[in-house]
Amino acid sequence: MRARERLFMKRSSRRRPRLGQHFLTGAWAARALARAAEISENDTVLEIGPGKGALTRELLALGAHVIAIEKDEALAEYLKTAFADDIRTGKLVLIADDIRSVSPEKLGLKRYVLAANIPYYITGEIIRMFLSTRIQPRAMVLLVQKEVAGRIVARDNKESILSLSVKAYGTPTIVAKVSRGNFSPAPSVDSAILAITDISTKFFDTIDEAAFFRVVRAGFSSKRKLLAGNLAKHVGSRPKALDALTHCGVPEKARAEDVPLPKWKCLVQYVVGRT
């Protein structure tokens, strides 16, 4: 199988940059990603972009039922041969399609884990898609750009629209750093395994989901301005914005990136209740 993989890689190397694909070659990273999802036997895993199947093998080894979505038709054909036995026994379902054209509802999923080594350029889109979908995954474990993972967990204690959006639905943690040498072709940056657990919509039990994102976007509308100034445009006046900050215990000189998620929830409740 390794010889066949090398042959496939040689023949297809010219096409990979167009799709943004970097094949995972570090077996330890694939194993760490699979185990980070705390998958047990007979769990259903939705895998995005299986590529040459490094992660797929580890997921199957844990006893999972895997539904793999592969956009590249040539790769899908390769996987049909490489995993013929697993497909025949029903442990692996391979679908040649773009994940953005597929949904948990279409696949008939109810409880599942999302696992993926996805191209960097669609990372944010995929995260938003599955956190906001009606049938959310139990957990998401992704190989993403290390810098993006750091922003999502707010490692420097600076929040962003992305970090707040993820934290509103679940708990993000960085499981491990994965150097660029664990991929072929090697990307220009290092990666990290990002796990998002405890996924739910409980955060929105007392606030409107759409209103939350409107207020957050307003707060980050101008990075050079203080939150009070940005929020004033949304609520109609600076005094109203300052009232909201005072009520929620947010300093007058705070910037949007300095405000943690619970304070944003308070701001949304206060602002919406007075508009």
Per-residue pLDDT tens over the stretch 212-259: 999 999 999 998 899 999 999 999 999 999 999 999 999 999 999 999
For residues 257 and 164, give the distance between their C-alpha atoms in angstroms, rounded to a whole number: 10
Question: Are residues 222 and 95 located together in one domain of the fold?
Answer: no
Question: Are residues 38 and 98 located together in one domain of the fold?
Answer: yes
Whether 103 contacts 133, CB under 8 Å: yes
For residues 144 and 119, give the distance between their C-alpha atoms in angstroms, rounded to a whole number: 8
Count of C-beta atoms within a 10 Å radius of residue 250? 21
- The answer to whether residue 166 scores a pLDDT higher than 60 is yes
Question: Are residues 29 and 76 located together in one domain of the fold?
Answer: yes
DSSP 193: E
Question: Are residues 215 and 244 located together in one domain of the fold?
Answer: yes
Question: Are residues 32 and 165 located together in one domain of the fold?
Answer: yes
| Residue that terminates a domain, selected from 165, 200, 235 | 200
User: Whole-number mean pLDDT of the chain?
Assistant: 91
How far are the Cα atoms of 8, 37, 115, 143, 173 from residue 180, in angstroms, in the given order?
A: 21, 22, 19, 11, 20
Mean pLDDT in residue range 179-186: 93
Mean pLDDT in residue range 65-84: 96
| pLDDT more than 90, % of the chain | 82
DSSP for 22-61 reads: -EE--HHHHHHHHHHTT--TT-EEEEE--TTSHHHHHHHH
Question: Are residues 151 and 267 located together in one domain of the fold?
Answer: no
- The answer to whether residue 2 scores a pLDDT higher than 50 is no
DSSP 108: T
* pLDDT for residue 11: 41
Question: Are residues 168 and 219 located together in one domain of the fold?
Answer: no
Closest CA to 26 of 196, 193, 195, 194: 193
Question: Are residues 215 and 175 located together in one domain of the fold?
Answer: no
Question: Are residues 127 and 248 located together in one domain of the fold?
Answer: no
Higher pLDDT, 178 or 120: 178
Looking up residue 241, the CATH number of its domain turns out to be 1.10.8.100
- The answer to whether residue 15 scores a pLDDT higher than 90 is no
Mean pLDDT in residue range 89-98: 97
For residues 167 and 163, give the distance between their C-alpha atoms in angstroms, rounded to a whole number: 6
98-147 per-position pLDDT tens digit: 999 999 999 999 999 999 988 888 888 999 999 999 999 999 999 999 99
Mean pLDDT in residue range 17-27: 74
The β-bridge relationship of strands 113-117 and 139-145 is: parallel
Question: Are residues 122 and 164 located together in one domain of the fold?
Answer: yes
Question: Are residues 257 and 177 located together in one domain of the fold?
Answer: no
Mean pLDDT in residue range 72-94: 97
Mean pLDDT in residue range 174-202: 95
For residues 17 and 185, give the distance between their C-alpha atoms in angstroms, rounded to a whole number: 9
**Strand arrangement, sheet containing 113-117:** 92-96, 65-70, 44-48, 113-117, 139-145, 191-197, 171-178
Domain ranges, residue 45 = 2-200
The pair of structure tokens assigned to 203 is: 């955060």
* pLDDT for residue 275: 57
* pLDDT for residue 223: 83
* pLDDT for residue 20: 62
Question: Are residues 125 and 258 located together in one domain of the fold?
Answer: no
* Terminal Cα-to-Cα distance of the chain (whole angstroms): 63
E runs forming strands in the chain: 23-24, 44-48, 65-70, 92-96, 113-117, 139-145, 171-178, 183-184, 191-197
Mean pLDDT in residue range 165-170: 97
18 pLDDT band, cuts 50/70/90, is: very low
The phi and psi torsions of 7 (rounded to 5 degrees) equal -65, -45
* pLDDT for residue 13: 39
Whether 173 contacts 197, CB under 8 Å: yes
| pLDDT more than 70, % of the chain | 92
72 pLDDT band, cuts 50/70/90, is: very high
* pLDDT for residue 16: 42
